Chains A and B, each alone.
Chain A
Amino acid sequence: MHRYLRRIYHKILPSFLLTTLFIGNGIIAGNAYSQTTDPKQLFQVCAACHHIGKGKLIGPDLYGVTERHDRDWLMRFIRNSQEVIESGDEYAVKLFEEYNKIPMPPVDYTDEQINILIDYIANFVPYKPEAVAAAPAVAETEAADDFFAETKSTRRNYGTTFIISLILLLAAAFDMLVTRLIKARFVNFIVMLISAFIMIEITVVEAQNLGRQKDYEPDQPILFSHKIHAGENKIDCKYCHTSVTESKHAGIPPVSLCMNCHNVVREGRHTGRTEIDKIYQAMESGRPIQWVRVHNLPDHSFFNHAQHVTVGKMECESCHGDVNSMHRIRQVHDLSMGWCIECHRNTEVQFLDNNYYEKFRKFHEELKAGTRTRVTVDDVGGTECSKCHY
C-alpha cells in the first residue's frame, strides 16, 4: 500500500466513541526569549553553532571557554565579535581564521543576560557522548537505516475485513433463507449482526477520517532530519521557523537560511555530501526547494501560529509531537476539529498576564470572588465558528 494514505488505523476496531480520536494534551508554558533570564533559552541562540563538550560545530567547542578567557573579553566578544577582531586581538583573529572567517553574529542581550549565559557555560557539565563520539561509523549506519526505514507502525487496511464481513453476512443470510444448513437460526443472526457491526464500524471510522492525515509522513526532496538539527544539535525551532511568533505561518526557512550553517557544514554525518549538495544546487539554479507540506488544514480553517505561540505561550511539541526524535516529520495528531475544540475547552488563556483580557470584567470579578478558578479558551469564545472559519 502506498504510504500517503489518508486513512490509517491505530487500534483494531476501537469503540464507537468519537472521543477516543481526540487526544488531550498537556500544555507546558514557556517564555519568549527576548526578556528571558533562563540560561537554557539564552543558549539556544548559541547552540546553532556551538557545542559544550561535544566538539566543534560551526564555531569552537565552548567547553572550558571561561577558563581560556576572562569575563570581560567574553562579554566583548559575545556582544560584537567583529569589533574584537578588528581591534586586532590576537586570539580573536586566530579563531576567526581557523573557523573559515565566519563572523559570529552579534546578539542584543543585556549585560545581565550575557552574564547569566557565561555562568551557564562555565557551570555546564557535559554528558559523556558515547555512541556518537566513540563509534561514529556504527551510529551513522544505524541512523541512516532508521532514516530510510519505512515506518510500518500500526497501519492496517480494513478493506479485506470489510469484504470478509460482507461475504459472511451474505452467506449467513443466504443460509438462513435458502440453504438452511445451520438449524439454529440464532447463529445466523449472530453472524449477521457481528458482520453488520464490523462493516458499520469500518464505514464510520473511514468516513470520519476522510481528509485527515494522521501519521502522514511523506518523503521530502531532501533527507532533512529534524532529529539531527533540533534533537542532537539543539537548534531552536524558531531559528529556522522564524515567523512563528508573529505570523499565521510558522514559515519554512528560505534556502539562504540553511546556508548560514551549511556554508561551513558541507558534509552530513549520515548522508555525506549528497543531501547538503541539494541546498547548493537550489542556490545556484535559483530554484527553491519544493518541500512537501505535512500539516495540512482545509482552506476554510484559519489557524494562526502567533496566536498559539506568542499569545497562548504554547510549545511547538503540543501539536507537532516530539519533533526532536523524528528524522522525517510525521503528523502525530489528526488535526481534526474535535481535537482543536478539546484543547480549547481545557486550556486556560493567559487571562491575568495579558491586558487584552481586561475587558472581561465579569470573569475578573468572579476570579477575585473565588467563584471561578480559571478562564479557558472556550470561556472567551474560543470555540465559536468564526474564530477559525471566515
Chain B
Amino acid sequence: MKQYWRSIEEYESIQEQGNKGNQDDSLKETPDHHHDEPGDSDLAGSHSRRDFLKMLGFGIGYAGLLSGCEMPVRKAIPYLNQPEEIVPGVANYYATTFYDGHDYCSILVKNREGRPIKIEGNVLSPVTKGGTHARVQASILNLYDMARLKEPMKNSQETTWEAIDGEVIAKLQEISTEGGRAVILTPTVISPSARHLLKEFMLKYPGTEWITYDAISSSAMLQANEMNFKQKAIPDYRFDQADLIVGFNADFLGNWLSPVEYTKQYTKKRSLMDSKTMPRHIQFESYMSLTGSNADYRVPIKPSEESIILLNLYNLIASAKGADTYTVSESPIEIGKLAEELLASEGKSLVVCGTNDLHSQLIVNAINHLLGNYGTTIDLARPLLTQQGSDDEMAALVDDMVQGKVSGLILCQVNPVYDYPAAQRFADGMKQMKLTVSITERLDETARLAHYVCPDSNYLESWNDFEVKKGCYSMGQPVINKVFNTRQAQDSLLRWMEDQATYNDYIENYWEKNIYPGQSKFDGFRGFRNEVLHDGIYVDTSSAGAQPSFSSVELQAGIEPEGEGFELVLYEKISIGDGKYANNPWLQELPDPVTMATWDNYVCIPPGYAKENRLKLEDVVLINGDVELPVLVQPGQPEGTIAIAVGYGRSNAGKVANGLGKNVYPLAVIADGHRKFSGRKVTMERVSGKRYPLALTQSHHTMEQRALAREATLMEYLEAPDAGNEMHMGIVEENLTLYEIPQYEGSHWGLAINLNACIGCGNCVISCQAENNVAVIGKEQVRNRRIMHWIRIDRYYSDEADNPEVIRMPVMCQHCDNAPCENVCPVAATPHSSEGLNQMAYNRCIGTRYCVNNCPYKVRRFNWFEYAGNEKFDYNLNNDYGKLVLNPDVTVRSRGVVEKCSFCVQRIQAAKLNAKMENRGIIDGELKTACQQSCPGDAIVFGDMNDPNSEIKKILDNPRTYQLLEQLHTLPSVNYMTKIWNKDKEDKKVNYRRTRYVPHSVKHGKKHS
C-alpha cells in the first residue's frame, strides 16, 4: 500500500531510512512534559498528592467527628413573571442569520433559560442548507467575550450614550454646515434597511460619504465583472452544476466568498451516495489550502505564474473555438489535457479564481464565457452580494485623509488600523480629524485612536435583515437581551439622525413598504415576517435579473513582481479568518486542517528549500527584515514561495489574542488599484540560534502503517465498488470469535463518515466543543499533547513532498462493541450500554488512564488540570460571562478524570424522551449529533443500526464501508466509507507536470488574430 506520512520530518525520515525505518523515530520531538510543567501546586490548590494521602488517613478517622460541616445552601430562584415561551429545562430554538461582512449563514440558536448556548444550521435555508462554518459555530462565544466594550467611551473615558449622541450630532452638523466632508466606513452592507438608512443619513448630513471597505477584498473580481458585464457584482457560482471544477487560488471550501454554500454543493455531487458520477476538481494554488488538499489534482504554482497559465489555457480553448488568442510566454505547467477536458464539458465546467488581480479575473471570465458556463454553472441573474468593497475608493480615502480633506469619520465594524496595508497612513489621517467615531464590539486597534467609541451589539443581540443574493432576503432577530450597555450600529445612526425610532421599527417599515408587497402568500405582514425568519431565506421570484451579455476586453498576463526573494502569499486560516475573531479561544485552539497548528501564525516554506538550507520546524526567520516568524515546512508549498496567515498579531483584541503571532497585513501591497495578498517578493533570512515553539497537533496520534484511511480512484470504484476496501470482507471473515457477538435489544447507535463528503473543515470540532463543554487548554498544554477535543481530524500525506496527496479522516470515540478500554478500567467507570454506547462515568473515574493507554484509536482525553475556573487557564471557563455558554445538560469535567466522545448521549436521551412522550418510536434522522447537525458536507450520518430502514443501516451494507482498525476485532460502531478520487489512470506527473520553473521574460501579451 501507499506510504503515508504525517509531517515533513517523518517524510524525510522515511526517505533516509529507505522506507524501512521505524516511523516513530521522527517523533522524537515529543515534548517531555515531565519537566516543563507549570507545577502541580500552582495549578490546582496547594496540596500535593502525598499531602492528600496524609490528609486521607486522618480524614477517614475524623469523618465521624467532622459533623459541623454543612452542605452549601442552594437557591432556586424562579422568574417574577415567567415569559410564556420559556419552560425552565427545555431549550428554545430561534432562527436568525449570521453575517459579518465576510461570512453569511442561516442559523438556529439554541436558548436555555434565555441564554444562547449553541448554534445549529438552519436546514430550511436554500443557501447554506443547514451547514455552518467553524467561525459561525464559534461566534456564540464572541457574545460572552469579556473583551467586549461594556460602556460607551469618549477619549478613553467612560461616558453615557446621551453625552455621546449630543456631541456627535453637534459635530456632524458643524461639519455639514462648514461644507466639510464626513465619511462612514463600513464593511460590505447587505442589509437593505441599513443601506436605506445610510442613504438617509447622507441626506440628513450633506457632504457625508459612505465607503465600503472589506478587510479581505474581492475588488478585482467586481471590476472584472463590471468590465465584462457592466455589472459590478460577484456571480452566484453553482458548484453542483459543474462536472469539472478548476480552481486558481480560490479556497472556496474554506474561506472564499460563500464557503458553506459551496461545500454543500461540492460534496453533494462528490459523496457518491446517490449517483455513480462525481465532478473532477483540479486546483492550481500557491499555498496548501483546504480546497487544494481536497482536489483530485493539485498543482502548486507561483502567484506570478497564475495569469500566465490562465492565459495559455485561454489560448488553447480560444484556438479550439476559433476566438482571438494572445501572445504570452509558455505555460510552466502542462495544461493540454486540462484544456481538452474543459472543452469536453462545455457549459458543465467552472473555472474560479480567488486572486485579487484584475488580469487573472478577466481571463477567467473570458474562459468561462468561451466554455458557455454563464447561465449554467455561473449565474449573474442573482449575484452574490456579500463582497462589495472597492479597493480604489479606500485608497483614495486614505490619501484624502492624509491630506486633511476629510473632517469626520464614522467607522462601523471596521478595523483598518489593523488590517489595512497602509495602516500607519490611515492612523495618521485619523489624528487630523474633527470627529472620529468608532462603532465596534471591542476597543480594537482603530477604536483606540477614535474620539468616540460606541459599543456595538453582537449580532445575537441585534435586529438585522440581509439580502445575500439579489432578491434573496434573510432576517435576523436578537436571541438575548443586551449583555452589556451596547447599542447596535444602526440604532446609533438613527439616534444621530435625531430619529427616535428603533432599528427594529425601521426594518419593519422598510420591509412593509418594499419587500412585503412583492409576495402574495401572506395577508399580514407579521406572518410574512415570521416565515422569513423561520425559513432563513425569502426569495423574491420576480427580482431575478437577466443574464447580462458578455463584452470582451483585452487580456494580458500579470506583471511579474520585481525584486529578489520569495513570492509571498498571504492567506486566511479556517479558524481565524481575517482576524476579527482572534480573541475567541475555541478558534485559536482549532488545529488548522492543513498544518495542524494552533495558536500561532508561521511561515510555510517549501520542503525543497528547507532541506537545502537545513531549516526545520520552529526555526525563526526574518521576513523583509521586519517580521520575525517561526518556520513550518509545508509539503506542497511551491518552490520559490512562502505563505503566511493573516489575522494574527492583534494588539487590542483581548487577552486571548493579544501578542499571538504577527500581523502580516502590512506585507500586502496595493497595485493596479487592488490590494494584492499574493505575489509580492520578499526576502527571508534565518535568525540564527533562535527557535520559537509551535503547538502542532499533527503527530500526536501515531497510526503506524495500517490501512486506516482507505482510498481508490473513481475508475476502480466503478469496476468494483469495494475498491480500496477489498480487505474488509476478509477481515470480517477472519474475525471469528469463541465469544458471543454482542446483541442489542432496542437501539444500537452507530455513526458513519463518508470520507468523500468530509473536507476536513473543522466545523464538527467546534460544534462538538460547544455542545459538550470541551475545555480550552492553551498553547503550552496543546504542545504537551493534551488537547481536549473529542473529535480530531487526522490528516495524512502521501506521495512526494513537493506535491503530496492529502487524505483526512475525522476520528472520535469509536464506541467499540468489544472495547479495549472497558475491560482495563479498575473501577468500571467506562462500561458498555445496552444501546452500544461506550459510556464514561466521570464521577466514577479515578484517573488511572489505563483506558487511555489501551485505546487503539487514542481518542480518550485526560483532564491533567482543573480547566474550569482556573486562572492559569484564563479562557472562557474562567469568567462568569464565558461560563454562560456552557451546555447545562453536560457535566463540566474536573481534574483527574478521562473524557471522550459520548455520541452526544444527552441528545440521544432527549430524543428518546421526546419519542416516549409522543408515544412513538424514534424516527430515523430526527436525532442528530452535534458534529452531524451542522456539517457543511453532510459527511456524518448517525442512527439506529437495528432499524432496517435507517440511513446508517444502508451505509453498513455499502461495499465502501469499513471500520477503523477492524482487524483488531474491536467492533467499532463508527464506520467510514472509502475516499474515491476522480483521477485518471495516468498520473498527475504526466497531465499537470511542471515543464519549467522560471517564466520567460515576455510579460505583456499582445493581441493577434
Using CB atoms and an 8 Å cutoff, list the residues of chain A in contact with chain B. Answer: 1-2, 4-7, 157-159, 162-163, 199, 202-203, 206-207, 210-211, 213, 216, 218, 242-243, 246-249, 251-257, 282-283, 286-293, 296, 298-300, 302, 304, 306-307, 310-311, 354-356, 358-363, 380-381, 384-387, 389-390
Contact = CB atoms under 8 A, between A and B. Distances in A.
A288 B833 contact: no
A302 B79 CA distance: 22
B549 interface: no
B65 interface: yes
B89 interface: yes
A254 B78 contact: yes
Interface stretch (B36-44, B56-64, B665-673): B56-64
A146 to B, nearest CB: 24
Interface in B907-936: 909, 912-913, 915-917, 919-922
Nearest to A248: B89
Interface in B73-122: 73-82, 87-90
Contacts, number: 182
B843 interface: yes
A105 B205 CA distance: 56
A267 to B, nearest CB: 22
A163 B65 contact: yes
A249 B88 contact: yes
A163 B64 CA distance: 9
B909 A251 contact: no
A162 B64 contact: yes
20 contacts: A1-B67, A157-B67, A203-B64, A216-B71, A247-B88, A251-B89, A252-B76, A254-B82, A296-B71, A304-B913, A306-B913, A307-B916, A356-B919, A359-B921, A361-B745, A380-B745, A380-B834, A386-B841, A390-B889, A390-B906
B80 A381 contact: no
A5 B68 CA distance: 7
B142 interface: no
B186 interface: no
Contact of A389 (B64, B891, B917): B891
A355 B839 contact: no
A360 to B, nearest CB: 5
A135 to B, nearest CB: 36
B617 to A, nearest CB: 39
A307 to B, nearest CB: 5
A210 B667 CA distance: 63
Given A248-B89, A385-B833, 11 more contacts: A206-B63, A251-B87, A252-B78, A292-B76, A300-B842, A306-B913, A356-B921, A359-B944, A363-B745, A380-B746, A380-B834
A288 B76 CA distance: 10
Interface of B: 60-61, 63-65, 67-71, 73-82, 87-90, 745-747, 831, 833-835, 837, 839-844, 889-892, 902, 905-906, 909, 912-913, 915-917, 919-922, 944, 946-947
A5 B70 contact: yes
B917 A246 contact: yes
Contact of A254 (B79, B909, B922): B79
Given A282-B80, A359-B921, A389-B891, A218 B73 contact: yes
Contacts of B67: 1, 5, 7, 157-159, 206
Nearest to B834: A381
Contact of B889 (A218, A302, A355, A380): A302
Given A243-B90, A256-B82, A199 B73 contact: no
Contacts of B82: 254, 256-257
Contact of B88 (A251, A291, A299): A251
Given A158-B64, A247-B90, A355-B920, A6 B76 contact: no
A291 B89 contact: no
Contacts of A380: 745-746, 834
Contacts of A362: 745
Nearest to A218: B73
B80 A207 contact: no
Nearest to B743: A362
B440 to A, nearest CB: 32
A292 B61 CA distance: 32
Given A251-B87, A255-B81, A356-B920, A385 B75 contact: no
A6 B912 CA distance: 35
A288 B77 contact: yes
5 closest residue pairs by CB, A with B? A247-B89, A381-B834, A249-B89, A252-B78, A254-B82
Contacts of B746: 359-360, 380-381
Contacts of B75: 290-293
Contact of A2 (B70, B77, B747, B891): B70
Given A289-B78, A380-B746, A356 B912 contact: yes
B841 A358 contact: no
A287 B60 CA distance: 43
Contacts of B909: 302, 304, 387, 390
B73 A4 contact: yes
A277 B264 CA distance: 60
A202 B64 contact: yes
Contact of B919 (A1, A355, A389): A355
A291 B82 CA distance: 16
User: Which of B61, B78, B892, B906 gathers most chain A CB within 10 Å?
Assistant: B78
Contacts of A384: 831, 833-834, 839
A211 B87 contact: no
B382 to A, nearest CB: 43
Nearest to A296: B74
A304 B909 CA distance: 10
A389 B843 contact: yes
Contacts of B891: 299-300, 389-390
Contacts of B74: 292-293, 296
Nearest to A389: B841
B916 A213 contact: no
B73 A256 contact: no
Nearest to B892: A299
B81 A386 contact: no
A243 B76 CA distance: 15
A242 B746 CA distance: 32
A43 B69 CA distance: 46
A381 B890 contact: no
Nearest to B744: A381
Nearest to B73: A292
Contact of B842 (A6, A287, A389): A389
B424 to A, nearest CB: 51
Contacts of A358: 921
Contact of A246 (B60, B87, B834, B916): B87
A356 B915 contact: yes
